[in-house]
């Protein structure tokens, strides 16, 4: 009963798992939510570390000691002292030039009116009446006005100048001038006194007194804000800080002691007081995480949809970021023996390890974006409240180290490049630490510690990348360039078997790799993958190596003794056999795909035509490869290189012109047959591929000078003949020893008849067992 119930339960679980597999959107959504929660918890966990919720005036529940030696500053008192010193500085006044310009203008207008009235023709009463229409003349007596009208123009100008100077001089005086409204009345009286004591005529004095009463009605001085602020800033700067040093493990407050304002300040500076709303900070961090993850997903959707479609890639990106933050959480908790040194521990967070891993396993552009998001997360990790500049400084170190790590491994070609990348990251970290230290004025000790930590970070990132690369590749079924480089080692078991059991196929595979690699570089394909896949594309021939003519070293051809259908089946089966060997030896899926696709669903034409010669009703389907056709650039390049290398080898006299024409003919026939329909090669790519093939083949099938027969019994003559022949060929041996003699023409003819007689240059895709099918 229990077994049946278990089977039923397991069946339901399997159905749900199958549903998730077929509904990748929901699976990715769940993964995204999971990573969001993990990131939020890691970044905000530091907000909950402090368990002290004390208030000033309350007793302390426990003994609290200083975690490390630290200079404590009473910031509140320092601020109060600064404010008091600034307030003690009296404001500096300066003349109100706008007001003085107005006074000068009004005084000029009044004297102009006086001149105009004096120039009016008529009796005195008429001129006085005209003058009384203007202030302040309407306040003066008729006698004073008549006296002013009769004064000469030059005398009026002199009195205007003298009186105006007296008024402005008194008003401009920063000591006796009016600073406030209360100072205006005394200023008027002092100015009138100056007028009385002057040498002006009595009627002019009366006019100026009336002018003063009318115009001098507001303060004549204003505060000089710039000068006053400078003095107050200087007063603030002159205030000395009050610093108290607490030693490590020194008592701050005991159990039951009342928490004073000073004690509260000490606990706050040590970060032992949770003085703000924690959940608000958590909500802010959660929004930041959403923005960071959304940026990565949006970029993948817009520019890297091939990565977005692969769930394992998304999981790997998130996992590397989580691991970095987990290690960062442990790093920031390290006590380096002082607050100044403790904040520098954030330099050790290995962001470059994550970015280098993502660049190698997924994509360099994605890794750059990951480095930016991780730098922001590191900033929050070091300082969740963003209350200091330390978090920003650590974020900058993480950003530049991560970016340099990406560029260091973007063209990885050998394992030593990883070690070199660690040095580059160390150098970048050292430069950033030095920049920050010089900008912030850090002490020499802090600077040196930062340099050491930055160098350690770079080297550790390199070591972590090397160590984790294998596990990431295996766990997420991703093939990196490092893995491909390992597979290209001739000492790999499959390649050693190929060399020993099928040497012709081995050398054919090397030539195919050279051709395909050159073409891959011409069309910006993965040259490393193409070269390595070419080495393994024909491993299926290991099962029956002597059924392929490149491995036949005798005149016997086993295909002459069997039916064409069976021969075709054997030729076709090397694809299936190769896939079985690839799976047994755990070759990457990309290489397995190229093995399966490098012949597409093409026709084994030689045996098909041979079968037609025997009987007419031969089903063509039995002579086709099972496919599929090449799906990627890399698979198509291996397919083209495989066919072309085998076909060009059958040419009798391969000149550069004939080779190029033959190569283009084969590519065209592949294209017309539809073998290139499912890969993303353009016509321009095909032209570049043809040129790359011709360039490599011209080097392989170059002409050589035939060595002459050596006369027997005359060593010195033989030596001279060999030397002359070597010079003629451009390949003379330094020691004068003759190379291996060529096979006789009879033996060569026999071989040609046994293996290559049926091959012709007109076959664009030769499928005879004498070719590399």
Per the DSSP assignment, residues forming a β-bridge with 59 are 258
* pTM of the complete model: 0.58
* Predicted confidence (pLDDT) per residue in 376-435, tens digit: 999 888 877 666 677 788 889 999 999 999 998 887 766 678 888 999 999 999 999 999
Domain boundaries, the chain: 2-47+276-478, 93-223, 497-700
3-state helix, strand, coil split of the chain in percent (to 5) is 70, 5, 30
Distance, CA of 675 to CA of 128 (rounded, Å): 116
* Non-local CB neighbours of 344 within 8 Å, separated by 6+ positions: 336, 446, 449, 450, 453
Q: CA nearest 633: which of 521, 484, 532?
A: 521
* Predicted confidence (pLDDT) per residue in 225-237, tens digit: 899 999 889 988 8
* Predicted confidence (pLDDT) per residue in 451-460, tens digit: 999 999 999 9
CB atoms within 10 A of CB 439: 10
Say if CB 78 and CB 265 are below 8 A apart.
no
Q: What is the mean pLDDT of residues 146-161?
A: 83
Say if CB 739 and CB 707 are below 8 A apart.
yes
* Non-local CB neighbours of 412 within 8 Å, separated by 6+ positions: 360, 418, 480, 481, 482
* Predicted confidence (pLDDT) per residue in 711-759, tens digit: 654 444 444 433 333 333 333 333 333 333 333 333 333 333 333 333 3
Both tokens of 135, joined, read: 């202030």
| pLDDT beyond 90 at 532 | yes
CA angle at residue 726 from 722 to 730, to 5 degrees? 175
The Cα-based distances of 309 to 121, 306, 724 in angstroms read: 103, 5, 65
Distance, CA of 757 to CA of 215 (rounded, Å): 124
pLDDT at 340: 57
The Cα-based distances of 137 to 108, 111, 148 in angstroms read: 14, 10, 10
* Predicted confidence (pLDDT) per residue in 68-114, tens digit: 677 777 777 788 888 888 888 888 888 888 888 888 888 888 888 88
| pLDDT beyond 60 at 320 | yes
What percent of the chain has pLDDT above 70?
A: 83
Burial of 586 (0-12, 13-18, 19+ CB in 10 A): exposed
Is 569 or 23 the better-scoring residue by pLDDT? 569
The Cα-based distances of 205 to 83, 140, 157, 210 in angstroms read: 49, 11, 14, 9
Architecture of domain 497-700: Orthogonal Bundle (1.10)
pLDDT at 12: 62
For every residue of 463-502, DSSP letters joined together read HHHHHHHHHHHHHHT---HHHHHHHT-TTSHHHHHHHHH-
Q: What is the mean pLDDT of residues 557-565?
A: 83
Say if CB 342 and CB 390 are below 8 A apart.
no
Both tokens of 609, joined, read: 């035509």
Q: What is the mean pLDDT of residues 493-498?
A: 92
């Amino acid at each position: 009963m229990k077994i049946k119930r278990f089977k039923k339960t397991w069946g339901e679980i399997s159905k749900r798992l199958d549903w998730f597999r077929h509904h990748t959107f929901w699976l990715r959504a769940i993964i995204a939510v999971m990573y969001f929660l993990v990131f939020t918890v890691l970044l905000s966990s530091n907000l909950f570390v402090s368990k002290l919720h004390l208030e000033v005036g309350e007793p302390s529940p426990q003994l609290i000691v200083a975690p490390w030696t630290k200079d404590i500053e009473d910031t509140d008192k320092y601020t109060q002292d600064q404010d008091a010193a600034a307030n003690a500085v009296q404001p500096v006044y300066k003349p109100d030039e706008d007001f003085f310009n107005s006074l000068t203008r009004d005084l000029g207008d009044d004297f102009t009116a006086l001149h105009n009235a004096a120039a009016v023709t008529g009796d005195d009463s008429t001129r006085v009446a005209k003058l009384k229409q203007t202030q302040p003349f309407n306040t003066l007596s008729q006698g004073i006005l008549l006296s002013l009208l009769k004064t000469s123009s030059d005398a009026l100008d002199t009195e205007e100048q003298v009186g105006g100077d007296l008024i402005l001089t008194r008003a401009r005086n920063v000591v006796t001038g009016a600073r406030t409204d209360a100072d205006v009345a005394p200023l008027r009286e002092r100015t009138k006194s100056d007028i009385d004591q002057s040498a002006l005529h009595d009627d002019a004095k009366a006019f100026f007194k009336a002018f003063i009463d009318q115009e001098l009605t507001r303060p004549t001085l204003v505060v000089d804000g710039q000068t006053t602020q400078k003095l107050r800033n200087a007063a603030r700067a002159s205030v000395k800080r009050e610093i108290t040093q607490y030693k490590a493990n020194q008592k701050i407050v005991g159990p039951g002691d009342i928490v004073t304002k000073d004690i509260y300040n000490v606990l706050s500076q040590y970060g032992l007081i949770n003085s703000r709303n924690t959940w608000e900070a958590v909500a802010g961090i959660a929004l930041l995480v959403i923005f960071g993850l959304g940026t990565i997903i949006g970029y993948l959707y817009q520019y890297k949809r091939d990565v977005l479609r692969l769930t394992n890639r998304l999981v790997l990106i998130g996992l590397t970021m989580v691991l970095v933050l987990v290690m960062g959480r442990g790093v920031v908790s390290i006590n380096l023996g002082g607050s100044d040194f403790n904040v520098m521990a954030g330099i050790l967070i290995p962001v470059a390890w994550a970015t280098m891993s993502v660049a190698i396993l997924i994509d360099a552009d994605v890794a750059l974006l990951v480095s930016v998001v991780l730098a922001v997360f590191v900033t929050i990790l070091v300082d969740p409240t963003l209350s200091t500049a330390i978090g920003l400084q650590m974020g900058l170190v993480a950003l530049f180290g991560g970016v340099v790590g990406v560029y260091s491994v973007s063209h990885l070609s050998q394992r030593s490049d990883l070690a070199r990348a660690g040095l580059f990251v160390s150098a970048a970290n050292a430069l950033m630490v030095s920049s920050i230290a010089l900008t912030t004025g850090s002490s020499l000790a802090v600077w040196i510690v930062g340099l050491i930590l930055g160098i350690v970070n770079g080297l550790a990132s390199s070591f972590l990348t090397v160590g984790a690369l294998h596990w990431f590749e295996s766990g997420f079924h991703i093939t990196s360039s490092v893995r491909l480089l390992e597979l290209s080692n001739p000492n790999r078991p499959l390649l050693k078997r190929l060399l020993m059991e099928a040497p012709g196929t081995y050398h054919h595979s090397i030539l195919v790799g050279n051709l395909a690699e050159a073409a891959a570089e011409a069309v910006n394909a993965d040259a490393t993958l193409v070269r390595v896949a070419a080495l393994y594309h024909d491993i299926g021939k290991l099962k029956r190596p002597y059924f392929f003519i490149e491995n036949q070293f005798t005149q016997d051809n086993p295909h002459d003794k069997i039916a064409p259908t069976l021969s075709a089946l054997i030729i076709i089966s090397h694809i299936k056999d190769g896939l079985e060997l690839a799976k047994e030896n755990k070759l990457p899926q990309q290489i397995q795909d190229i093995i399966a696709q490098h012949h597409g669903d093409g026709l084994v034409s030689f045996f098909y035509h041979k079968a037609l010669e025997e009987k007419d009703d031969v089903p063509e389907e039995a002579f086709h490869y099972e496919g599929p056709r090449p799906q990627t650039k890399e698979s198509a390049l291996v397919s083209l290189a495989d066919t072309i290398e085998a076909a060009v080898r059958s040419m009798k006299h391969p000149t550069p012109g004939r080779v190029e024409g033959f190569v283009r003919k084969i590519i065209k026939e592949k294209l017309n047959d539809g073998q290139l329909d499912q890969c993303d090669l353009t016509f321009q790519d095909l032209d570049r591929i043809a040129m790359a093939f011709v360039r490599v083949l011209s080097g392989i099938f170059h002409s050589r000078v035939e060595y002459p027969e050596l006369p027997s019994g005359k060593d010195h003559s033989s030596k001279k003949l060999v030397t002359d022949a070597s010079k003629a060929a451009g390949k003379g041996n330094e020691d004068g020893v003759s190379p291996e003699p060529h096979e006789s023409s009879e033996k060569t003819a026999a071989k040609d008849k046994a293996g290559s007689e049926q091959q012709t240059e007109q076959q664009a895709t030769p499928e005879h067992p004498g070719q590399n099918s």
